[in-house]
Structure 1
């Protein structure tokens, strides 16, 4: 739909309700001039929030449809998600005592969704909800979705006959590694650490000996899939490396020259 046609739709629905432009502006909490510009198809200086507000006042749902001349964006995003899914599944296959099911759909208590991977440790009866993300966008929605899946996981596993009673339910958020995702995660570090205290290093120990319920955030690289790289090497830690200053004794001890710096034999 073009800008002009969208503006015509807004005007048509406003007039149908016998509203003035000011009436619509008051309901959308925008200025009358914003409504006027939108009805004329001039959206260049109008924020997306205001467009959605005016549309919502008229019961219009605004969907953004992104197109790219070089290819199908949905297919490309799905390919990235599939590659991440394959890397994680390969890792789980190498873990003793763990079983898993991919793409577990659910509809319970009015809540619907899909758990990317639901894994369970038979010996400890521990459940693990794994959420895969190719990018980080809405953190509040993401953590809310994780919490909802955590609450429903035990009942889903019991109904499927995988675990009669789960001793604990943990969540693991795995994000495709990129500088953008790491930067966004750093901007929300306090919130993420409270909900997902473990990182890529700590989750390895937990997977070997599952215990109490926990949460983890780690970044994964899928660039080495199928190259023989050990699956454990694909887990990236989210912790920053800390440089430790040398002790007083180490500072007094001269460093040994490397092989390249050693003097040649006479």
Structure 2
């Protein structure tokens, strides 16, 4: 009986062992392949980013009118190493060294993690939601919407207005700039003024200047606690730059019979970008 049991167990266990071993081996091989693919993708991304950083370094240096030797001296590096970085070969360079090189140019190193392209929403989804909100609200006022409207002719990197709204019959136009996060407020205000002026020139018939079109600027700001605090702390600045009441702007956006206000304005959006809210009722 003992011999029979041993033989029976051997007959049963041997194939089972082989199957288990094979499954384990295949699983380990698959995990190794996945791990290898991850590492290879990481190496490829590092090479790409090193190339982008090298181009950015070279462009920043040339804008500043500096030589590689000048940057090297400020960063306490060799000129050949700066050249090495500019050629996109800084993949193994530490983050600290990149930050020092950026500081030598009066710049700062910026970094973030982002989702790999796929099923996830785009990184600028909050911005897109507010553009959509502006377009939907303005449709009630018979405005024609043109998102990401470029305003500079014959340039590789034209400035763009987030949404341009037009009522051709009334010859009215609005340059809408959407702000999810207020950072350099002064630069943003100057940018709006320049875009409004350029848009007026683009719309005007040749030889007539800007006559005939009324062009105004409108900020649409995401109503986060941080943005609200900034507007509260510097309210006199914002009131001077955006003197029109938000209630006037909301009527002009939603009522075809209401003319665009005579001065630039500012409105909030709620957190989910479902409605425009008056900043100065």
Same fold flag (TM > 0.5): yes
Q: In structure 2, what is the equivalent of residue 187 of structure 1?
A: 233
Which structure shows the bigger proportion of residues in helix conformation? 2
Query: Aligned Cα RMSD in Å?
Result: 3.9
Q: In structure 2, what is the equivalent of residue 250 of structure 1?
A: none
Q: Residue 265 of structure 2 is aligned with which of 211, 216, 220? A: 216
Would you say the 8 A contact 2:246–2:278 is kept in 1?
A: yes
Write the distance in 1 (CA, Å) between the matches of 2:252 and 2:70. Answer: 63
Greater C-alpha radius of gyration: 2
Write the distance in 1 (CA, Å) between the matches of 2:148 and 2:160. Answer: 6
TM-fit CA distance, 1:134: 1.2
Q: Sort the Cα spacing of 1:224 and 1:145 in 2 relative to 1 into closer, same or farther, 3 A.
A: closer
TM-fit CA distance, 1:167: 3.0
Would you say the 8 A contact 2:148–2:160 is kept in 1?
A: yes
* SS of residue paired to 1:104: strand
Give CA-to-partner distance per residue, 1:45-101, whole Å, 9 cap, x none. xxx8x8754244xxxx64412126xx46996541111111111111011114x2221
TM-fit CA distance, 1:151: 0.6
Higher deviation after alignment, 182-191 or 130-139: 182-191
Give CA-to-partner distance per residue, 1:151-182, whole Å, 9 cap, x none. 111233347xxxx9543210010012211111
Q: Number of aligned residue pairs: give it.
A: 192
**Long gaps (5+) in structure 2:** 1-45, 47-53, 55-67, 76-93
Counterpart mapping for 1:137-216 below 5 A: 137-158=183-204, 166-207=212-253, 208=255, 209-211=258-260, 213-216=262-265
2:154 is the counterpart of 1:104: no
* SS of residue paired to 1:214: coil
Would you say the 8 A contact 2:246–2:279 is kept in 1?
A: yes
Q: In structure 1, what is the equivalent of residue 104 of structure 2?
A: 54
**Long gaps (5+) in structure 1:** 2-8, 10-15, 26-40, 226-233, 241-266
Runs of 4+ in 1 over 6 A off after TM superposition: none
Would you say the 8 A contact 1:170–1:215 is kept in 2?
A: yes
